[in-house]
């Protein structure tokens, strides 16, 4: 019999912890089960059992497990335990950090936390009590006589509602709430309960809204789509991952629906991942119409209780067959996973930046599928170079669709030279005459327009036209963005809000003004230029009041022009859009990163893909100051391969992904001196371990101070031929060796980001 359990605790220490198992709990403690254990002096917290054994740890007195939190089913399945171990190895974080990211707060009680442990939502129902007078025939006249009129009437109502007046042997459930609608005060029900004529009982009703209505059959596939499905099946016969490269609006979502249905018919489960929560509502409606109550939606914006409820559902006897979710849904238990779909697989937002684990949703999905003997389908119109490389080299299957479902042509790009238009004084604010004309035409033809700007707020900066002073954040190394809606200057890095000074603090000038264009200001400009059009805006700020309405109004044609940030760029399916404007392409073209060109191309193609989904003749107006930029002249919306083939040469030359893997080491401290010294030391260690060509930095990033902490980064390249395990060990070794500098490290934090995006 085992006597000890190694467990994961939700703390950032890179190890497991060992507890002893009381005899009475021995049969309950198995891997994957949640435990309640003491930690430190007074702390009690939830732990996950990793393994049980008989090796008594030496050197300290082992504490005993207090209780077992999972009685009927373990909260974690074996494949999840494998996944968590992979996550903490690959992403260089502690098992406890993985646990915290995975398990909803309600499922990990902690005596130090103000949050309540998950409680199922219940409702009170009423049924017959045990009053002796109820033993034979139930006769309200006899029970109440002529005195208690209110009670008698209510009791008769109960008999009707429960159907007992007709079928006394099979009462239907009646909730207290329903019954109370038929009496003036709930004291009447209470008095029936006091007399034991009725009694209360509790039923678990849950928080998840069921889908009401009938489901429909999926659409029939076109021959091209059917051929793609056949090819996907063939590829799955000898490969675990398949990349579906299909141009925007070729019907990838329809193909997914058919594949999901096949899995469900075979008794398997499917996980469908999307990069952006804002996308889920539209796809959810499409999926729900086919899968009804077989599916649910899981992401970080669901309430903690809902997340706990879904988790429990997944380990219970009848789990959801389809889960639609954002990245964190890969952490859920799936007992019988058949397929994971990762839509828009190229999206950088699949990667979590903060806090650890800094994991990539797509790559984690591929691992989960392989631990679960399931397959992964990646979908994109503009695949990431990593996935495309894997597909072209045969590691993944590759299925291509190059025709839109409705055979509409992809939109034509129209490149506008903003500098020239400015010189000729043709610009109206940020709007070029070409774009204004296209919008006017679209409105005349009752078509819709999407305008894209990668900046929320009103203007980029608040500045003094006299002396050039710019309002900056006190804690971060950035200028502030003016938000007209609340009249404040906001830091987009730490969220801090500032009042705008009445006069320039530097020269006393009174004419402070905003410069540049954010979505708020563009919305204003459009409303002035096209007062008859209905304009709305979707960005992080407006989404707070419900992005669903903004999107569904646009979808239903209640609005004509939608202004937005990258939230509107991907995946959304609007039938009637035939002009898309990219207002400042330059901001997209100048990311300081080796992926800049790839990203710019993807973003432009994605935004463009929102247009002309039902009819040909759509245009994408791209406003830029660099009309000769090579990438703009390569914009043929239908030849990703050509673009890839050209770009990949450079990646190979400089040994960037997909030809190497990167790990970003980030050091932060309030003290500039310390962060500079430690990062220099760390870089020296890493250079010693990996060689000079493999280590870049330390560098100060473009924004070198956030929330009063100075930042330095070191980039480590891991050539494909060196096993990941080896690099990880060396990185941890370097961090460990740094510890001899004790004092210097005070207040310096070091973190790793594997495959930074
Ligand atoms: P993608 O995901 O590739 O961008 P969608 O699946 O959203 O493409 O399809 C684009 C449009 O074409 C949608 O409005 C969709 O309903 C429609 N469509 C695609 N395939 C079919 C089909 N087989 N039958 C009916 N409509 C389809
Ligand atoms: Zn000034
Ligand atoms: Zn700030």
The domain in which residue 160 lies consists of 122-204
Asked whether 219 lines ligand 1 (CB < 6 A), one says yes
Amino acid 638: pLDDT: 64
170 with 298, same domain: the answer is no
* Rounded distance from Cα 285 to ligand 1 centre (Å): 14
- The 3-class secondary structure across 244-270, one letter per residue, is EEECCCCCHHHHHHHHHHHHHHCCCEE
Amino acid 503: pLDDT: 92
Q: Is the pLDDT of residue 739 over 60?
A: yes
Q: Is the pLDDT of residue 637 over 60?
A: no
Pairing of strands 4-8, 17-20: antiparallel
Tracing tokens 């914009």 back to the chain, one arrives at: 635
Q: Which of 382-386, 396-400, 510-514 is the least confident region?
A: 510-514
Asked whether 222 lines ligand 1 (CB < 6 A), one says yes
Q: Is the pLDDT of residue 487 over 80?
A: yes
Asked whether 577 lines ligand 1 (CB < 6 A), one says no
Tens of pLDDT, residue by residue over 123-165, are 888 888 888 887 777 777 777 877 778 888 888 899 898 888 8
Q: Is the pLDDT of residue 268 over 90?
A: yes
Do the domain assignments include residue 374? yes
Considering the chain, what is the average pLDDT of its residues? 90
The dihedral built from the CA positions of residue 109, 111, 113 and 114, taken in this order, carries a sign that is positive
Percent of the chain surpassing pLDDT 70: 98
Tens of pLDDT, residue by residue over 277-291, are 766 778 888 999 999
* Rounded distance from Cα 473 to ligand 3 centre (Å): 5
617 with 567, same domain: the answer is yes
CATH number at residue 615: 3.40.50.300
* Rounded distance from Cα 387 to ligand 3 centre (Å): 35
Region 213-241: mean pLDDT is 95
Amino acid 601: pLDDT: 86
**Band of pLDDT at residue 489, cut at 50, 70 and 90:** very high
Asked whether 294 lines ligand 1 (CB < 6 A), one says no
Which residues have CB atoms below 5 A from the ion given as ligand 3?
473, 475-476, 491, 493-494, 496
Which DSSP string corresponds to 396-448?
SEEEEE-S-TT-PPPPEEEEEEHHHHHHTT--BTTB-HHHHHHHHHHHHTT-E
CATH number at residue 72: 3.40.1440.60
Asked whether 555 lines ligand 1 (CB < 6 A), one says no
* Rounded distance from Cα 465 to ligand 2 centre (Å): 7
182 with 323, same domain: the answer is no
**Band of pLDDT at residue 636, cut at 50, 70 and 90:** low
* Rounded distance from Cα 133 to ligand 1 centre (Å): 65
CATH number at residue 728: 3.30.70.600
Tracing tokens 């830029």 back to the chain, one arrives at: 624
Q: Is the pLDDT of residue 629 over 90?
A: no
Pick the closest to residue 52 from 4, 85, 1, 9 (CA basis).
4
Question: Which domain-ending residue is among 75, 107, 139?
Answer: 107
What ligand is nearest to the CA atom of residue 379?
A: 1
Amino acid 343: pLDDT: 95
What ligand is nearest to the CA atom of residue 476?
A: 3
Do the domain assignments include residue 43? yes
Tens of pLDDT, residue by residue over 25-61, are 999 999 999 999 999 888 999 999 999 999 998 888 8
441 with 529, same domain: the answer is yes
Question: Which domain-ending residue is among 354, 381, 401?
Answer: 401
Q: Is the pLDDT of residue 294 over 60?
A: yes
Amino acid 399: pLDDT: 97
* Rounded distance from Cα 632 to ligand 1 centre (Å): 28
290 with 377, same domain: the answer is yes
303 with 425, same domain: the answer is no
Across the strands, what pairs with 718? 661
Do the domain assignments include residue 392? yes
What ligand is nearest to the CA atom of residue 473?
A: 3
Asked whether 74 lines ligand 1 (CB < 6 A), one says no
Region 386-402: mean pLDDT is 96
What ligand is nearest to the CA atom of residue 481?
A: 3
Residue 391 makes CB contacts below 8 A (sequence gap 6+) with 243, 245, 383, 397, 398
Atom of ligand 1 at shortest distance to CA of 221? 23
Region 734-757: mean pLDDT is 88
Amino acid 571: pLDDT: 64
Atom of ligand 1 at shortest distance to CA of 225? 23
Interior angle at CA 464, CA 458 and CA 466, nearest 5: 145
420 with 562, same domain: the answer is yes
Amino acid 358: pLDDT: 96
194 with 300, same domain: the answer is no
Question: Which domain-ending residue is among 623, 649, 675?
Answer: 649
Asked whether 405 lines ligand 1 (CB < 6 A), one says yes
Q: Whose CA is nearest to atom 24 of ligand 1?
A: 219
Asked whether 251 lines ligand 1 (CB < 6 A), one says yes
Pick the closest to residue 162 from 197, 139, 202, 128 (CA basis).
128
427 with 385, same domain: the answer is no
Amino acid 69: pLDDT: 93
95 with 243, same domain: the answer is no
* Rounded distance from Cα 192 to ligand 2 centre (Å): 78
Do the domain assignments include residue 495? no
Q: Is the pLDDT of residue 616 over 90?
A: no
**Which H helix or E strand runs over 729?**
helix 724-738
Based on the number of CB atoms within 10 Å of its own CB, is 101 exposed (0-12), middle (13-18) or buried (19 or more)?
buried
Asked whether 660 lines ligand 1 (CB < 6 A), one says no
Asked whether 225 lines ligand 1 (CB < 6 A), one says yes
Q: Which of 248-252, 322-326, 497-501, 684-688 is the least confident region?
A: 248-252
Amino acid 39: pLDDT: 93
Amino acid 385: pLDDT: 96
Asked whether 224 lines ligand 1 (CB < 6 A), one says no
pTM, two decimals, is 0.87
Tens of pLDDT, residue by residue over 698-721, are 999 989 999 999 999 999 998 777
397 with 274, same domain: the answer is yes
Mutate to test the pocket of ligand 1, among 251, 575, 615, 616 (most ligand atoms within 8 A of CB): 251
| More confident call, 115 vs 183 | 183
* Rounded distance from Cα 463 to ligand 2 centre (Å): 8
Asked whether 380 lines ligand 1 (CB < 6 A), one says no
**Band of pLDDT at residue 180, cut at 50, 70 and 90:** confident
* CB of 130 closer than 8 Å to CB of 196: yes
| More confident call, 5 vs 634 | 5
**Band of pLDDT at residue 432, cut at 50, 70 and 90:** very high
Dihedral, CA atoms, 315, 353, 591, 392, nearest 10 degrees? -40
Asked whether 249 lines ligand 1 (CB < 6 A), one says yes
Do the domain assignments include residue 216? no
Q: Which of 205-214, 439-448, 489-498, 719-728 is the least confident region?
A: 205-214
Amino acid 743: pLDDT: 78
Do the domain assignments include residue 471? no
Task: Determine the number of helices (DSSP H) and then strands (DSSP E) in the chain.
Answer: 23, 31
Tens of pLDDT, residue by residue over 74-130, are 999 999 999 999 999 999 999 999 999 999 998 998 887 766 667 777 788 888 888
What ligand is nearest to the CA atom of residue 504?
A: 2
Tens of pLDDT, residue by residue over 676-688, are 999 999 999 999 9
Atom of ligand 1 at shortest distance to CA of 401? 3
Do the domain assignments include residue 606? yes
555 with 440, same domain: the answer is yes
d(CA 34, CA 75): 7
Mutate to test the pocket of ligand 1, among 247, 249, 401 (most ligand atoms within 8 A of CB): 249
Do the domain assignments include residue 469? no
| More confident call, 188 vs 322 | 322
Domain count, the chain: 5
Percent of the chain surpassing pLDDT 90: 59
């Amino acid at each position: 019999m085992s006597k000890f359990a190694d467990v994961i605790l939700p703390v950032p220490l890179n190890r497991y912890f060992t507890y002893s198992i009381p005899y009475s709990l021995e049969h309950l403690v198995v891997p994957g089960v949640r435990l309640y254990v003491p930690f430190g002096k007074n702390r009690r917290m939830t732990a996950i059992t990793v393994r049980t054994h008989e090796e008594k740890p030496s050197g300290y007195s082992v504490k005993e497990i207090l209780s077992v939190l999972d009685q009927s089913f373990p909260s974690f399945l074996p494949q999840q335990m494998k996944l968590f171990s992979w996550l903490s190895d690959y992403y260089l974080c502690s098992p406890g950090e993985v646990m915290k990211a995975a398990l909803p707060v309600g499922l990990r009680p902690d005596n130090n936390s103000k949050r309540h442990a998950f409680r199922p939502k219940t409702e009170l129902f009423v049924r017959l009590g045990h009053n002796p007078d109820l033993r034979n025939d139930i006769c309200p006249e006899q029970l109440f006589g002529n005195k208690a009129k209110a009670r008698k009437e209510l009791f008769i109502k109960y008999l009707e509602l429960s159907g007992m007046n007709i079928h006394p042997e099979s009462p239907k459930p009646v909730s207290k709430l329903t019954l109370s609608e038929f009496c003036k005060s709930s004291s009447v029900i209470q008095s029936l309960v006091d007399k034991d004529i009725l009694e209360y009982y509790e039923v678990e009703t849950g928080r998840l809204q069921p889908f009401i209505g009938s489901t429909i059959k999926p659409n029939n596939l076109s021959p091209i789509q059917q051929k793609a499905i056949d090819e996907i099946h063939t590829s799955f016969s000898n490969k675990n991952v398949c990349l579906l490269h299909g141009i925007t609006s070729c019907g990838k979502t329809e193909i997914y629906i058919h594949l999901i249905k096949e899995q469900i018919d075979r008794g398997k489960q499917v996980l469908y991942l999307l990069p952006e929560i804002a996308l889920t509502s539209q796809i959810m409606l499409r999926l729900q119409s086919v899968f009804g109550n077989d599916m649910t939606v899981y992401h970080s914006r669901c309430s903690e209780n809902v997340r706990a409820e879904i988790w429990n559902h997944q380990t219970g006897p009848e789990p959801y067959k389809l889960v639609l979710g954002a990245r964190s849904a890969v952490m859920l238990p799936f007992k019988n996973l058949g397929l994971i779909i990762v839509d828009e697989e190229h999206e950088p937002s699949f990667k979590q930046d903060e806090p650890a684990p800094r994991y990539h949703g797509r790559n984690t999905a591929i691992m989960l599928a392989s631990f679960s003997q399931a397959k992964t389908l990646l979908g994109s119109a503009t695949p990431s170079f990593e996935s495309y490389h894997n597909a072209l080299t045969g590691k993944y299957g590759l299925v291509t669709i190059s025709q839109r479902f409705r055979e509409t042509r992809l939109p034509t790009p129209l490149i506008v030279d903003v500098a020239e238009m400015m010189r000729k004084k043709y610009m109206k604010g940020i709007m070029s005459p070409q774009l204004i004309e296209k919008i006017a035409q679209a409105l005349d033809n009752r078509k819709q327009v999407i305008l894209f700007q990668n900046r929320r707020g009103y203007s980029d900066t608040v500045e003094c036209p006299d002396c050039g002073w710019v309002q900056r954040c006190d804690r971060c190394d950035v200028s502030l963005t003016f938000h007209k809606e609340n009249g404040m200057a906001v830091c987009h890095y730490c969220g801090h809000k500032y009042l705008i000074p009445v006069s320039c603090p530097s020269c006393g000038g009174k004419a402070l003004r905003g410069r540049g264009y954010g979505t708020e200001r563009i919305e204003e400009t459009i409303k002035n230029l096209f007062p008859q059009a209905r304009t709305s805006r979707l960005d992080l700020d407006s989404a707070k009041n419900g992005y669903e309405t903004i999107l569904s109004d646009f979808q239903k044609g209640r609005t004509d022009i939608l202004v937005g940030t990258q939230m509107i760029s991907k995946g959304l399916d609007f039938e009637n859009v035939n002009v898309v404007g990219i207002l400042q392409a330059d901001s997209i073209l100048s990311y300081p990163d080796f992926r800049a060109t790839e990203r710019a191309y993807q973003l432009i193609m994605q935004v463009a893909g929102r247009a002309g989904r039902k009819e040909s003749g759509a245009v994408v107006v791209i406003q830029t100051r660099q009309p000769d930029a090579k990438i703009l002249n390569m914009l043929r919306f239908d030849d990703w391969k050509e673009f890839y083939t050209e770009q990949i040469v450079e990646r190979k030359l400089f040994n960037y992904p997909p030809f190497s893997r990167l790990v970003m080491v980030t050091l932060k401290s309030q003290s500039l001196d310390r962060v500079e010294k430690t990062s220099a030391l760390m870089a020296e260690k890493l250079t010693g371990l990996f060689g000079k060509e493999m280590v870049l930095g330390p560098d100060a990033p473009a924004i070198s101070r956030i929330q009063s902490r100075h930042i330095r980064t070191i980039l480590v390249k891991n050539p494909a031929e060196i096993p990941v395990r080896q690099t990880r060990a060396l990185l941890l070794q370097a961090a460990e060796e740094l510890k001899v500098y004790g004092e210097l490290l005070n207040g310096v934090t070091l973190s790793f980001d594997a495959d930074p995006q």
